[in-house]
């Protein structure tokens, strides 16, 4: 995870960005924090939606709700088996993306109101998963394995961090983002009642989240 910061420094240099804010959702949360860790003078602020905490910290794995993630956590050291599970999931997704999204909703009923809210929003999720599996299991496998040892501690992040999370998350308990916020030196948490893991893309919450990303303070 920590290597992501150097990659994003190259991108920021290429784009001519002197200072900027970063944002991340779910497993993108530690990626955003890695950028802040690597570039403390350039990253002004971090905004996170439903972020994961380091899985290797005591008690964090017990905050997982989704059955598949619980299984992966138990099999952490059997990397060949985790890769096989990710490969199987990628094949299923790429074979029929709309059916794959519907199968996810079956596993995560609280996400239906967001993922299937309307045809346009459903199409966003279908494209998200299609792009996520373009390299088949590789991206999902690498990100999953990086969720344990980040290579830095949340306590190293000195920039202001705003965390947004829903109380109806089907992937992990609201305790996880609250725990992460408690580990960050300068963090503010915002609770969204009845929102799921992907609820940040619904219009009102999306506006609030993007507003936090764009804010200078």
Amino acid 215: pLDDT = 81
pTM flag (> 0.95): no
pLDDT tens digits, one per residue of 70-85: 888 888 889 898 889 8
Amino acid 182: pLDDT = 97
Domains of the chain: 4-148+155-214 (3.40.50.1820)
Amino acid 194: pLDDT = 94
Tell me, what DSSP letter sits at residue 53? Answer: P
Residues of the chain scoring pLDDT < 70: 216-217
Amino acid 127: pLDDT = 93
Amino acid 217: pLDDT = 64
Residue 62 CA: distances (Å) to CA of 56, 59, 81, 189, 201: 11, 5, 21, 21, 26
């Amino acid at each position: 995870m920590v290597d992501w910061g150097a990659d994003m420094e190259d991108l920021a240099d290429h784009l001519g960005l002197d200072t900027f804010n970063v944002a991340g959702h779910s497993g993108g949360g530690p990626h955003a924090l890695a950028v802040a860790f690597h570039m403390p003078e350039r990253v002004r602020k971090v905004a996170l939606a439903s972020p994961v905490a380091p899985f290797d910290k005591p008690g964090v794995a017990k905050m997982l709700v989704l059955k598949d993630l619980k299984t992966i956590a138990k099999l952490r050291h059997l990397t060949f088996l985790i890769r096989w599970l990710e490969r199987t999931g990628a094949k299923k997704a790429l074979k029929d993306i709309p059916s794959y999204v519907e199968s996810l909703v079956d596993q995560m009923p609280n996400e239906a109101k967001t993922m299937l809210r309307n045809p346009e929003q459903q199409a966003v999720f279908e494209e998200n998963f299609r792009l996520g599996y373009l390299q088949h299991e590789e991206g999902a496998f690498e990100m999953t394995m990086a969720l344990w040892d980040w290579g830095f501690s949340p306590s190293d992040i000195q920039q202001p961090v705003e965390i947004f999370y829903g109380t109806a998350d089907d992937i992990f308990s609201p305790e996880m983002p609250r725990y992460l916020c408690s580990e960050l030196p300068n963090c503010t948490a915002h609770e969204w009642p009845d929102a799921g893991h992907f609820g940040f893309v619904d219009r009102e919450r999306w506006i609030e989240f993007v507003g936090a990303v764009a804010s200078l303070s």
